[in-house]
Chains A and B, each alone.
Chain A
Amino acid sequence: MSQAAESDLVERLLDGEHRALARVITKIESRASGYRDIISDIHSHTGHASVVGVTGSPGAGKSTLVDKLAKFYRDRGETVGVIAVDPSSPYTGGAVLGDRIRMASNVGDMDVFFRSMSARGQLGGLSTATSDAVKALDAFGKDRIIIETVGAGQNEVDVVKTADTVVVLVQPGSGDDVQMLKAGILEIGDVFVVNKADMAGASRTVAELEEMIHLRDDPRANLDTGHHGHDAFDDDHGHGAEADTGGSDEAADADSEPPSWKPQVVETVATQGEGIETLVETLDDHYTYLTDSGELDEKARQRAAEEIRQLLRSDVGELLEQELDAQGGVDDFAASVVEKETDPYAVTEEVLEPLRDCLGDHDD
């Protein structure tokens, strides 16, 4: 594809042509030649949308919730872009992308742009592809962008981390799941949604989550106890009626601290649309917090840094692959390693030597 055709495509995307947006995302997904120029061209047009990442175990109701969220935003007059990531087969590369099936509330509404993407077995490439696709939707002029992914592994965690606000969906009665999620997914959630809240065990799951958030976010819990103890000591000398003093002191302390975000737990029944309004309010609150605290800019910088690193890693990897081929290919090296003629570290040193020579000046 020629340079002119690419800038024409970008032009049409910025003009709001759906087909052009769809094609740009295809190019991003397939790493088609020229996709980098496209991203460079649209980059300056991005930064207007708020991005929400939704993750959770399979069957938790992510797609249904995303559908209802999109509908709510549309009713407020905002435009929505959705990127739904599904796993692909590591053997054939094939995939069945089934999230679209739940998007029943936005039928025929072209202002909801829904796109399914599959993890095409790229090492760390999925998060790059997703954040580039988010850029395309942003430049197109979408107000709200939702990224949906199955919270299974590091790859998916990296994907939702490209969002401003991360929503983690939990099913009632999934005590074991919560335990399992504790270490990974639970740490990245800004908002936790207990979906299917009409099911038995929902309130228990809410309580478990709140306890976990409390433990996670309040490392000073013990110090506060000490504080209370001190107050209690004072109270012994005064009147029993002043026992509340400790509480108000604490409130005053909190006021003087910079704003902080305590993850919220929201109950929803996505199929009925219950709790969606509360969820949207919570999401808006979080976005306001991000803006007021300056964390939004900080996050943007972190994301940009991560993107640069990711691209450098993959580009350098490609250069080294070429260098490896130029020096006789990996198979010969591998064979001599097995024959104990050399070892992997020595081979690495050998292959890297020209690179080191080029960059050597920095080390000295």
Chain B
Amino acid sequence: MSADSEQQTIRCLIAKVGLDGHDRGAHVISRAFRDAGFEVIYSGLHRAPDEIIQATVQEDVNVLGISILSGAHNTLVPKVMAGLEEYGALDDTLVIVGGIIPEEDRPGLLEEGVDAIFGPGTPMQETIDFVKENAPERT
């Protein structure tokens, strides 16, 4: 085995932001991503946007998955996006949002720079395929 055989592994941060204790979805996604061969970092519950920004920047993840079911997405997501921009991490991080996001809020989030929104009932494979196809490469 060579020391230089390049091993591109997709790294994801699954993040729970704000005062939202519903983490079943985040757990299921974490597990599915792991089984798809991704390296998953789970943030844990009740994280502030600053923590998510710090983790995304330091871990150099290809994908940031934010799970929100509290309805505070219009407040929290823009804060995260602004922080990523500040540290130069916005351009090469795929940002996806999952949870309960009302239809009328989606265009706003996408405008903020979110790459995709996956609501309840999305087949797991659809999310995995999206990540595999769109995760920015680290070369």
Q: Does B122 contact A (CB under 8 A)?
A: no
**8 Å CB contacts to B: which residues of A52-102?**
88-89, 92-98, 100-101
Contact A128 B3 (CB under 8 A): yes
Contact B139 A32 (CB under 8 A): yes
Q: Does A309 contact B (CB under 8 A)?
A: no
Contact A18 B36 (CB under 8 A): no
**A19-B89, A125-B1, A315-B2 given as contacts; is B36 within 8 A of A92 (CB)?**
yes
Which chain A residues border B42 with CB–CB below 8 Å?
A: 96-98, 100-101
Kindly specify which of B4-12, B70-78, B104-112 makes contact with the partner chain: B4-12
Q: Does B48 contact A (CB under 8 A)?
A: yes
Q: Does B59 contact A (CB under 8 A)?
A: yes
Which chain B residues border A299 with CB–CB below 8 Å?
A: none
Q: Does B88 contact A (CB under 8 A)?
A: yes
Which chain B residues border A114 with CB–CB below 8 Å?
A: 54-55, 58-59
Which chain B residues border A27 with CB–CB below 8 Å?
A: 138
Q: Does B87 contact A (CB under 8 A)?
A: yes
Kindly specify which of A115-123, A146-154, A203-211 makes contact with the partner chain: A115-123
A97, A101, A314 — most chain B CB neighbours (10 Å): A97
**A23-B138, A125-B1 given as contacts; is B58 within 8 A of A31 (CB)?**
no
**A19-B57, A27-B138 given as contacts; is B39 within 8 A of A107 (CB)?**
no
Which chain A residues border B87 with CB–CB below 8 Å?
A: 18-19
State A33–B6 Cα separation when bound (angstroms): 7
Option from A26, A36, A108, A321 in Cβ contact (under 8 Å) with B138: A26
Which chain B residues border A17 with CB–CB below 8 Å?
A: 88
Kindly specify which of B26-34, B95-103, B113-121 makes contact with the partner chain: B26-34
**8 Å CB contacts to A: which residues of B41-72?**
41-44, 48, 50-51, 54-55, 57-60
Contact A108 B50 (CB under 8 A): yes
State A33–B40 Cα separation when bound (angstroms): 24
Question: What is the chain A residue whose CB lies nearest that of B40?
Answer: A96
**8 Å CB contacts to B: which residues of A305-319?**
310-311, 314-315, 317-318
State A100–B5 Cα separation when bound (angstroms): 28
Option from A25, A94, A123, A318 in Cβ contact (under 8 Å) with B60: A25
Q: Does A113 contact B (CB under 8 A)?
A: yes
**Within the complex, what minimum Cβ distance (angstroms) separates B104 from chain A?**
32
**Within the complex, what minimum Cβ distance (angstroms) separates B58 from chain A?**
5
Contact A30 B40 (CB under 8 A): no
Which chain B residues border A311 with CB–CB below 8 Å?
A: 3
**A1-B139, A93-B9 given as contacts; is B59 within 8 A of A115 (CB)?**
yes
Contact A113 B7 (CB under 8 A): no
25 contacts between A and B (CB under 8 A): A22-B59, A23-B60, A26-B138, A30-B8, A31-B6, A89-B34, A92-B37, A93-B37, A94-B34, A94-B35, A95-B34, A96-B34, A96-B40, A96-B41, A97-B40, A98-B41, A100-B44, A101-B42, A108-B54, A114-B54, A114-B55, A116-B39, A122-B1, A317-B1, A317-B2
B interface vs A, CB < 8 Å?
A: 1-9, 11, 30-31, 33-44, 48, 50-51, 54-55, 57-60, 87-89, 138-139
CB-based closest 6 A-B pairs: A108-B50, A318-B2, A22-B60, A101-B44, A314-B3, A94-B34
Q: A18-B57, A19-B87, A100-B43 are in contact. List 17 more A-B contacts (CB 8 A).
A: A22-B60, A25-B60, A29-B7, A29-B9, A30-B9, A30-B138, A32-B6, A89-B35, A94-B34, A97-B40, A101-B43, A108-B48, A110-B57, A115-B59, A118-B9, A123-B1, A315-B2
